[in-house]
Structure 1
Amino acid sequence: MLGQLKVFSGSSNIPLAQNICDKLGIPLGEVEITKFSNENIFVQIKECVREADVFVIQSTYPNPSDSIMELMLLCDALRNASAHRITVVIPHYSYARSDKKDKPRISIAARLIADVLVTAGANRFLTMALHSEQVRGFFSVPTDHLQATPVICEYLLKSDLSNSVSVFDLGQDKRAGKISEKLNIPIAVFDKRRISDTEVQIRTMIGDIEGKNVIFFDDEISRGTSLVAIIDELKKRGAMDICAVSTHGLFNGPAMEYIEKSIVKEVITTNTVYVSKDKLIDKITVLSVAPIFAEAIKRIHEGISISSMFI
């Protein structure tokens, strides 16, 4: 075991950080974060962290640029204050979708930001539901990649799933198998093509959903355009009730209007990203991943394996 366990938070999702600390039975560390009139950000750690085992919690949404800058400054401040180890906890990693060079002369931002945070002082990372498994390899220090599967499955299993089928994007086939096995329901997969940030084309679908209640899984809901297009396609193919599940509910732009007007019965997400009260419409259910992060932090601090949590 290292020095005293301390947890600090940036400004992006303080409620989640506080919930994690409540589960750990420790106070949330005191930090001052100020944005000046010239838009420069100032960070000061307000308590001693010398030789401490520090965890910094910061989702990179909303305001990814400010959130990432805050995180860099927090890491640098903690390193300069002689923290023994700095673990960066990123419940939602905004640039995870920028994971390949699929166009000429572009940056692979997922790797770049990981490198910058290591330079700032991060010794290890703890994150959740990255867009693809390959992003984990972009981190040059030890990285633990968690899933929200336990809390999502626990919630879904409270309902009757006897006439249900789980539906996934073709790129999520490995995760699909694990989730469907836990829910004990069949799988259907589809192939989609993203035309732009606001347009998605659904192509082939494999599996029978006619007359079935569908649980559609995706890693992130942003504007909701993909969600609406997929829901419409599922309904055309004979689906009955449709429920959407997404670990990261960003709900930006017209997303809430799309969801409200759509035929989706329920949208289940988690608090990896702070969901404001104005977005908590009747169709939205927000589950807490604080118990998962708290258990992972406890095990990392105590030097206990967390491999059993990679589900």
Structure 2
Amino acid sequence: MGDAAVEVVDLRRTFKVPERETGLRASVRSLFHREYRQVHAVDGITFEIGAGEVVGFLGPNGAGKTTTLKMLAGLLHPTGGQVRVLGETPHRRRPDYLSRISLVMGNRNQLQWDTPAADSFELNRAVYRIPPAEFRSTRDELVDLLDLGALITKPVRNLSLGERMKVELAGALLHRPQMLFLDEPTLGLDITMQKRIREFIGEHNRRHGSSVLLTSHYMADVEALCRRVIVIDHGRILFDGDLAALGGRLAAYKELGVTLADGAADLSGYGEVRSRDGDRVTLRVPKETTPQVTARLLAEHTVLDLTVEDPPVEDIIELLLAAGHKAP
């Protein structure tokens, strides 16, 4: 294995899950003879993440994303394969390794619930043995970047979800980790707070060069932060490559946004009408006929505005999952 921040080769994780039929008889029988089935949560995946790279890790619920992150962070022992993060074997959980990574889960509390975040920050300083001067410098930088202000003096339980997520991020970054695992960091946040968190993650990456592996159901997070994405489903990688190339490889259509002087015109003859917002209509048009359709629109109507774009990333990933195999 080389010098990449994350190196994964044929990584596997299998869980043994008890199963039985419903009913009293099945319940009694299971007391003496319990049956199990093997669930392959992660089924032989291989990838690398370079130093300073921000990679999106995408897939539906149950695809194996969180299980993979937990193995990379050392919380789960792999069933098979090899994994190295920052040159270490994660499940050995050596103190030197743990001091260089951080795992943030949007649906988990990591700070003390009944005390101010500032107290938890001090506890983290002691746990990670951060020199006082370095701690104060990093804390003040995080307070400024995340606009924490008086939030860190309030008990965590009194904070809103968005405020709590900001202080959780700050607490996770006080020791300046080289590798950051983010599992749904904007889960449940409003649009404004999602944008603030995205901007912070991007700025932190630019300032400190930390590597980031990000899972999110909000494609705006991925599009804003990641040039590369890995798509996983049923524990297997379906796609690993450039985000911009994903649409070009899979999508067989373009989306045209059209605003006409005659907003009531019927445009169904030009393509599939996907939406109508006032006078603006969004059409889905086969990629190979897009130039001809665009020319017809301009020739046959008074066009006030026209845009041609790739389909939303969410739609492209749905196509990839439906295909069930790696994109060519």
- Give TM-score scaled by structure 2 length: 0.26
- Give TM-score scaled by structure 1 length: 0.27
Higher Rg of the two aligned structures:
2
Greater share of helix residues, 1 or 2?
2
RCO higher in structure (CA 8 A, sep ≥6): 2
